[in-house]
Amino acid sequence: MKKSSLTVVGTGIKFLSQMTLEAKVYIEKSDKVLYLVNDPALKQWINQANKNSESLDDLYFKHPQRLDSYTAITDYILSHLIDSKHICVALYGHPTVFAKPALDAVLIAIAQGYDAKILPGISAEDCLFADLLIDPGTCGCQSFEATDFLLHRRKFDPNSHLILWQPDVIGIQDHEKPKDTVGLHHLRAYLTEFYPSYHDVIVYEAAQYPGLKPNVLTIPLQQLPDAILSSTCTLYIKPAGKTECDYEFVRRLNITL
């Protein structure tokens, strides 16, 4: 095993209060901290907690295409392992939820013989379950990135919970916000194959600071293209109904309903 190590940590969503003690220690004690977070207060805290900290913001926005940005960040993370240092990468939320560069870096580092690992953090989905009072185990929960959901016409059960990530940038490959609502129109059209037009859709945004409430907007599906979406919002669609039991399995499992 090589001397350098890589630890990727999640900082949670809500400033400091959702950061684990383990993640905090790695940020404070590592030789080098690279971070990509969207909270100015958290950026300041990381810089104070470890004087050898560096934001990845400039590298992220340097390349017009997001995929190129991801590759550049992965390469940059790995370049620091050559110096026999203990590297910590801190990412907003949970570090493998829509955070491809760090996950790729860990996989490559392990393949190259480095000690590399990922520590979990609270994600927007965790906050959503708590704020909307949802138990995903009641009828199942399916989670998709919104563009991927459309491109592959993902199959899902409308009688379970549905979560769609990054609805604000459907079809967008660069860092620019869309100038129209074409993506949301396409999303509405696909969803109306499974839900009535009046079915409730929730635009959810977790609170970023302690003491603040989440933003929760409930609208009928037909009004989805009119919704104002932020870069940190998530769509939640409640179950359309209940799925009937397979009574053959009820009999086989000897379950009393």
- What are the tens digits of pLDDT across the range 49-71? 999 999 999 999 888 888 899 99
Asked about 92 being catalytic, the answer comes back as yes
Q: Which of 26, 35, 60, 66 is catalytic?
A: 66
- Are 133 and 198 in contact by the 8 Å Cβ rule? The answer is no
CA distance 199 to 219: 8
Above pLDDT 70, what percent of the chain? Answer: 98
Q: What is the pLDDT of residues 164-175, one digit of tens each?
A: 999 999 998 877
Q: For residue 41, what pLDDT is reported? A: 95
Look at residue 222 and tell me whether its pLDDT is greater than 90. yes
Average pLDDT, the chain: 94
Q: What percent of the chain has pLDDT over 90?
A: 86
Kindly report the pTM of this predicted structure.
0.91
Q: Is 154 a catalytic residue?
A: no
Average pLDDT of 116-133? 97
* Euclidean distance between CA atoms 46 and 133, whole angstroms: 32
CA max distance for the chain: 64
C-alpha distances (whole Å) from 16 to each of 46, 93, 134, 152 are 10, 11, 24, 37
What are the respective helix, strand and coil percentages of the chain, to the nearest 5? 35, 20, 40
Domains of the chain listed by start with CATH number? 5-119 (3.40.1010.10), 124-237 (3.30.950.10)
User: Does residue 48 surpass a pLDDT of 90?
Assistant: yes
Residue 1: per-residue pLDDT = 64
Q: pLDDT higher for 244 or 130?
A: 130
Q: Are strands 200-205 and 215-220 parallel, antiparallel or unpaired?
A: antiparallel
Among 26, 60, 76, 92, the active-site one is 92
Alpha-carbon span 187 to 224, nearest angstrom: 9
Band of residue 181 on the pLDDT scale cut at 50, 70, 90:
confident
Token readout for 139 is 């009828």
Active site residue 236: no
Active-site pick, 26, 35, 70, 236: 70
